[in-house]
Amino acid sequence: MAQHPHPVSSHRGPVAQAPRDPGAPPEVFTAAVGGIAALRPRPGLEFEPLPAPRRLAAYSHALSATVTEQQADGEMELGSGRFVLLYEPGGHDEWLGSWRCVTFLQADLEPEIAQDPLLADVTWSWLREALSGLGFAALGGTVSRCTSSGFGELAEQGSSTSVELRASWSPLPLPDFAPESGPLSGPDGARRERWSGERALEREVVGQRAMPGGTSGAVPLSAGCGQWTPETAWSGLAAHVEAWSVCLATAVGLPPELAGVARLPHVGG
- 166 within 8 A of 240, measured Cβ to Cβ: no
pTM comes to 0.71
- 172 within 8 A of 240, measured Cβ to Cβ: no
Residue 191: which pLDDT band, with cuts at 50, 70 and 90?
very low
- pLDDT at residue 249, as a whole number: 95
- pLDDT at residue 148, as a whole number: 81
Cα separation, 123 vs 127, in Å, equals 7
What order of strands is seen across the sheet that includes strand 59-71?
45-50, 59-71, 74-92, 97-109, 159-172, 135-149
Cβ within 8 Å of residue 2, ≥6 positions away: none
The yes-or-no verdict on residue 224 having pLDDT over 50 is no
Cβ within 8 Å of residue 110, ≥6 positions away: 191, 192
152-177: pLDDT as tens digits: 888 777 777 889 999 999 999 986 54
The pLDDT > 90 percentage for the chain reads 46
Give the DSSP H/E element, type plus range, for residue 239: helix 230-252
Cβ within 8 Å of residue 108, ≥6 positions away: 78, 79, 160, 161, 162, 252
7 against 134, higher pLDDT: 134
Tell me the average pLDDT of the chain: 76
1 against 119, higher pLDDT: 119
CA angle 90, 222, 93 (to 5 degrees): 30
- pLDDT at residue 178, as a whole number: 43
80 against 216, higher pLDDT: 80
Cα separation, 254 vs 18, in Å, equals 49
- 148 within 8 A of 222, measured Cβ to Cβ: no
- 80 within 8 A of 59, measured Cβ to Cβ: no
- 202 within 8 A of 118, measured Cβ to Cβ: yes
The yes-or-no verdict on residue 193 having pLDDT over 60 is no
- pLDDT at residue 258, as a whole number: 59
49 against 161, higher pLDDT: 49
The yes-or-no verdict on residue 206 having pLDDT over 60 is no
5 against 133, higher pLDDT: 133
Residue 210: which pLDDT band, with cuts at 50, 70 and 90?
very low
- pLDDT at residue 36, as a whole number: 97
Averaged pLDDT for residues 181-204 = 38
Cα separation, 142 vs 149, in Å, equals 23
Of 79-83, 96-100, 126-130, 213-217, least confident by mean pLDDT is 213-217
Distances from the Cα of 6 to the Cα of 1, 2, 15, 16, angstroms: 15, 12, 17, 18
- pLDDT at residue 166, as a whole number: 98
Name the residue among 186, 207, 205 with its Cα closest to residue 250.
186
Cα separation, 220 vs 170, in Å, equals 10
- 179 within 8 A of 239, measured Cβ to Cβ: yes
- pLDDT at residue 146, as a whole number: 87
